[in-house]
Amino acid sequence: MTASKSNITRRNLLALAGAAAGCRLGSTFADTDPNKPFKNPLEQAKVVWHMATLEATGADSLTLQANGAKTVTVGQKLEGAEYAESLKRGGDGFVAVFSNVPPNDYVLGTSPNGQQGWLSIGAPQAKDLRPEAAAASLYIRTFLQEPDSCGTLLFSDSIALAVHQSGLAEAFLGQKTVEGATFREVPLGIIERGKWLDLVIRIDRRQLDFFCNGVLRNSIPLGKEMGIPFESELAIGSFLGAPGGWKRHSHGLSNAKIDTIALWDRSLTDAQVAFLSGLADVRPRAKSPADQAIVAYNRFYDASESKDLDLCHRLERSMREFMRQDPTRPIYHLTAPIGWIYDPCGAFQFQGKYHVSTYHNIYAVLRLNGLDHYVSDDLVHWQMWPRGPIADTQVDVGGIWLSNHLIDDKGLPNVIYCAWGADGEERGIRARSHDGMISFTDKKVVLPDFHDGHPWKEGDTWYAITMRRVRGKIQEDPEIVLFSSTDLDHWAERGVVFRPSEYLDKDKNVGGMEFPYLFFLGDKAVLMAGCMPAGVFYWIGRFDRKSFKFIPDDPQGLRVDYANPFHCFNPSTVDAKGPNGAPRRIIMAMETRPRGSLQGLPWNGVHAMPRVLTLDGNRLRQDPLPEFETLRGQVHSLKNTRVTPETSGYLKLRGDALEIRAEFENQGASRFGVKVRLSRDGKTFVKVFYDAKTGEYGVDGNIARSLAFLAVSYPDLGRGPSYIPNGKPVQMRIFLDKALIETFVNGQPCTTSVEDTNPLNDGLDLFSEEGAAMCTRLDIWEMRSSF
């Protein structure tokens, strides 16, 4: 399509639009100068795609390419009123239809069987569409089908627009920082499905305005100007990760139509926004409570940039006050105020405060993210500190992953983290804090090939372990590698510490060993790693400091948790609150499956309770921190209650935020224990059980038994050995927090979540099978919120 032919077509369509509207465009829509004839803003755009063909209006070099599965149809003609409405806005009545399957993997955003298609232009062509000044505008006219249409409308290296599964519209914006530039995630507002939407993002230096169907939904101050963090292709209908090795098309646009997409390197006027929305003028909208929470979320970004601790705390409280209205959201476990909480990285104690970090993200988890930072005085009550480090330099702009802290020889807190750079390479980066861990600067690549890892010091030597990676992909036969350094800047490889294939049964199928940790309890060394997809395993043994080899006592290894197969954990926090002031090692972990949304604002994941980690013979035990007893409210107790099969109604108390301590003596039962999350009709429940025949304990009921993003079924999920001698009393500790269940028997944990989150299913009871059991002691505490 030539430029001249394109302009003629546009004028003809505008004439049709004026006739359809029953008015003259020049007199109805005024630009900034009332005496100047109104111009269709699409004629002034850097690029316009109308979707009749893959060609851009007036730009032959910007022809789109169809990619992936054949799930995108270009050139479908609208009919009737839809056709007229398209013309009214300067469209041509043709659309692209995206029939991608919604993601079955809410972490990686991939669709089943690769059923994802998108449109794109290459990075060299897309580079010409970057804003040339401190202003830009984006217009997309789209139809999102009910009930589950979602995905990425447009992705480029300067601006992107996507719709979360919850209905939250989000922008991604290249923005300058002190260190360079980052790809900032900007929630905009909740939008509807089942109707045509005229979406406009308008940026004018330090402010972003978001319009939906001519209504100003949000105005977001921007502390810094736009910037370009990396070079990327432009994609319509797909989200990209970082460049190079971590580049992946995901979060495809599902069950949607696109009429028009246009980009400008200037800020549109209100009149132009109104025209694109088919209106005479734009309209403001009173902010809802959800809108106010979105404002707080965006303000937190700038408060982080300015390192304003007090403002960060106030904004976090306002977000949590809104989100606490969700009756399914945990109240005494750590969650993100809005969005994901993920791997517990950077777990550390410094100057009496406990720190833990996690990946900052709502929409595109594990893409282009920096770190959120939580701080606590007691490991129970947490506050958000300013975000950081953030992905804003050429060595980490693709995303920051696992981090761990240390104190250097000058007494300064340091962090060594894994990140993807603009070139697609993965590195270990060291940064330092000069303000008590509020911020980290002085970024420096110190380990060129580093995938997660943990540093520690012995004598005058620093050590760090990491999982070996080959060409950016996890090996089928992974290995843990050791490095050493005397100055934290220059590291030498010392060899392979451990290779699981030399020890594990072949059917264990370990495809990776992420988050490796080597630490010491008494005279024993403990090696712990996330063995994908099997879960977290640990080995107890010895560490040969001459050969730098870890030699396990038992080659098979043991699970860290019997019910939580995910491989994200962190055992690196040590304080002096053990017996008689001895060191106390604390392990943190996460559970990805609890999730929900409130009025369109999503939350995902939860951090398990921090636990004391101790050596118990040839195994580890985990016990809940005594600090959580401060959350106990009213207690309800029973003693010496005989429990028999097919009998119910032992407990009248109801609740879904509880601590339960139960002690049983077996009187012939094959299984016995406690029912939680019992429905009113008694038909659905979750059992915390002890199996007298096998000596196992676990959690059985409507628990989530698989993780979609691993595509792995765990038939034994939810049960494991209790190590209780036959005939001895069985003591259970159960922490119930909405959909999350954490259980402990003899220091062995099962952490899981339930699929049924109905708040009415909050009953409790005791049970036994094939014989009686005596509940000698039962204490149930109502738990208060930790926020």
Answer whether residue 706 is part of any domain: yes
**What's the whole-number mean pLDDT along residues 76-82?**
97
Tell me: cis bond preceding 533? Omega within 30 of 0 counts: yes
Tell me: cis bond preceding 389? Omega within 30 of 0 counts: yes
Residue 191 and residue 370: Cα distance in Å, rounded?
Answer: 26
Residues 261 and 298 in one domain: no
Question: Between the CA of residue 546 and those of 459, 487, 499, 543, what are the distances in Å?
Answer: 15, 21, 17, 9
3-state SS assignment for residue 649: coil
Question: Between the CA of residue 585 and those of 333, 349, 356, 604, 766, what are the distances in Å?
Answer: 19, 11, 15, 27, 34
Answer whether residue 198 is part of any domain: yes
Side-chain-facing half-sphere of 18: CA atoms under 13 Å? 15
Residues 431 and 562 in one domain: yes
- Rounded to 5 degrees, φ, ψ at 614 are -135, 165
Task: Identify the pLDDT of residue 758.
Answer: 94
Task: Identify the pLDDT of residue 424.
Answer: 85
Please tell me which residue, 293 or 453, carries the higher pLDDT value.
293
What are 436's two structure tokens?
């008590």
Answer whether residue 512 is part of any domain: yes
Residue 646 and residue 650: Cα distance in Å, rounded?
Answer: 12
**What's the whole-number mean pLDDT along residues 662-677?**
97
Residues 103 and 223 in one domain: yes
Q: 215: pLDDT confidence band, cut at 50, 70 and 90?
A: very high
Answer whether residue 533 is part of any domain: yes
Answer whether residue 768 is part of any domain: yes
Please tell me which residue, 250 or 490, carries the higher pLDDT value.
490
Instruction: Give the model confidence (pLDDT) of 30-45 as tens digits.
Output: 344 555 667 899 999 9
Residue 516 and residue 455: Cα distance in Å, rounded?
Answer: 10
Whether 158 has a pLDDT exceeding 90, the answer reads yes
DSSP secondary structure letters along 11-62 = HHHHHHHHHHHTS-HHHH---SSTTSPP--GGGGSSEEE-SSSSSBTTBGGG
Q: What is the domain-level CATH number for residue 662? A: 2.60.120.560
Instruction: Give the model confidence (pLDDT) of 260-277 as tens digits.
Output: 999 999 999 999 999 999
Residue 780 and residue 632: Cα distance in Å, rounded?
Answer: 9
What are 445's two structure tokens?
């690549």
Question: Between the CA of residue 639 and those of 54, 632, 662, 671, what are the distances in Å?
Answer: 75, 20, 10, 20
Task: Compute the radius of gyration of the chain from its Cα atoms.
Answer: 28
Residues 587 and 648 in one domain: no
Buried b (16+ CB within 10 A) or exposed e, 549-578: bbebeeeebbbbbbbbbbbbbbbbbbeebe
Please tell me which residue, 170 or 68, carries the higher pLDDT value.
170
Task: Identify the pLDDT of residue 270.
Answer: 96
Task: Identify the pLDDT of residue 565.
Answer: 75
User: Residue 86 belongs to what H/E stretch?
Assistant: helix 80-88
Q: What's the structural domain count of the chain?
A: 3
Residues 270 and 309 in one domain: no
Question: Which of 247, 282, 317 is where one domain is finished?
Answer: 282
Residue 682 and residue 763: Cα distance in Å, rounded?
Answer: 8
Buried b (16+ CB within 10 A) or exposed e, 259-287: bbbbbbbbbbbbbbbbbbbbbeebeeeee
Residue 427 and residue 450: Cα distance in Å, rounded?
Answer: 5
Task: Identify the pLDDT of residue 274.
Answer: 97
Q: 455: pLDDT confidence band, cut at 50, 70 and 90?
A: very high
Residue with tokens 């003609």: 77
Q: How would you write 158-225 as a 3-class SS string?
A: CEEEEECCCCEEEEEEEEECCCCEEEEEEEEEECCCCEEEEEEEEEECCEEEEEECCEEEEEEECCCC
Task: Identify the pLDDT of residue 766.
Answer: 98
Answer whether residue 41 is part of any domain: no
Residue 329 and residue 335: Cα distance in Å, rounded?
Answer: 9
Q: 169: pLDDT confidence band, cut at 50, 70 and 90?
A: very high
Task: Identify the pLDDT of residue 755.
Answer: 85
Residue 291 and residue 352: Cα distance in Å, rounded?
Answer: 37
Answer whether residue 45 is part of any domain: no
Buried b (16+ CB within 10 A) or exposed e, 42-55: beebbbbbbbbebb
Residues 381 and 453 in one domain: yes
Residue 290 and residue 600: Cα distance in Å, rounded?
Answer: 8
Residues 494 and 635 in one domain: no
Task: Identify the pLDDT of residue 2.
Answer: 34
Task: Identify the pLDDT of residue 478.
Answer: 83
Which domain, by its residues, includes 157?
Answer: 3-35+52-282
Question: Which of 249, 282, 315 is where one domain is finished?
Answer: 282
What are the beta bridge partners of residue 635? 781
Task: Identify the pLDDT of residue 366.
Answer: 81
Q: 507: pLDDT confidence band, cut at 50, 70 and 90?
A: low
Q: How does DSSP classify residue 725? A: P
Task: Identify the pLDDT of residue 708.
Answer: 47
Task: Identify the pLDDT of residue 531.
Answer: 79
Instruction: Give the model confidence (pLDDT) of 287-297 as tens digits.
Output: 999 999 999 99
Please tell me which residue, 535 or 363, carries the higher pLDDT value.
363
Q: 728: pLDDT confidence band, cut at 50, 70 and 90?
A: very high
Q: What is the domain-level CATH number for residue 14? A: 2.60.120.200
Residue 526 and residue 511: Cα distance in Å, rounded?
Answer: 21
Where are any strands of DSSP class E within 576-702?
584-598, 601-607, 611-616, 619-624, 632-643, 657-667, 671-678, 686-691, 696-701
DSSP secondary structure letters along 294-346 = HHHHHHHHHHHHTT-HHHHHHHHHHHHHHHTT-TTS-SSSB--SSEE----EE
Query: How many CB atoms neighbour CB 663 within 10 A?
Result: 15
Q: 25: pLDDT confidence band, cut at 50, 70 and 90?
A: very low
- Rounded to 5 degrees, φ, ψ at 578 are -80, -175
Residues 393 and 267 in one domain: no
Residue 122 and residue 231: Cα distance in Å, rounded?
Answer: 10
Whether 87 has a pLDDT exceeding 60, the answer reads yes
Task: Identify the pLDDT of residue 6.
Answer: 35
Residues 303 and 278 in one domain: no
Residues 220 and 307 in one domain: no
Whether 184 has a pLDDT exceeding 50, the answer reads yes
Side-chain-facing half-sphere of 183: CA atoms under 13 Å? 33
What are the beta bridge partners of residue 531? 513, 535
Question: Which of 263, 282, 301 is where one domain is finished?
Answer: 282
Residues 507 and 370 in one domain: yes
Q: What is the domain-level CATH number for residue 450? A: 2.115.10.20
**What's the whole-number mean pLDDT along residues 735-757?**
94
* Average pLDDT taken over every residue of the chain: 89
Whether 109 has a pLDDT exceeding 80, the answer reads no
Task: Identify the pLDDT of residue 471.
Answer: 47
Whether 610 has a pLDDT exceeding 50, the answer reads yes
Instruction: Give the model confidence (pLDDT) of 514-544 as tens digits.
Output: 889 999 999 999 999 987 766 788 999 999 9
In the chain, the percentage of residues whose pLDDT exceeds 70 is: 89
Residues 576 and 670 in one domain: no
Answer whether residue 27 is part of any domain: yes
Whether 382 has a pLDDT exceeding 90, the answer reads yes
Residue 259 and residue 317: Cα distance in Å, rounded?
Answer: 40
Please tell me which residue, 525 or 557, carries the higher pLDDT value.
525
Q: Which residues contact 536 (CB under 8 A, 6 or more apart)?
A: 515, 528, 529, 530, 559, 560, 561, 566, 567, 569, 589
Residue 621 and residue 618: Cα distance in Å, rounded?
Answer: 10
Residue with tokens 């959120």: 372
Q: 97: pLDDT confidence band, cut at 50, 70 and 90?
A: very high
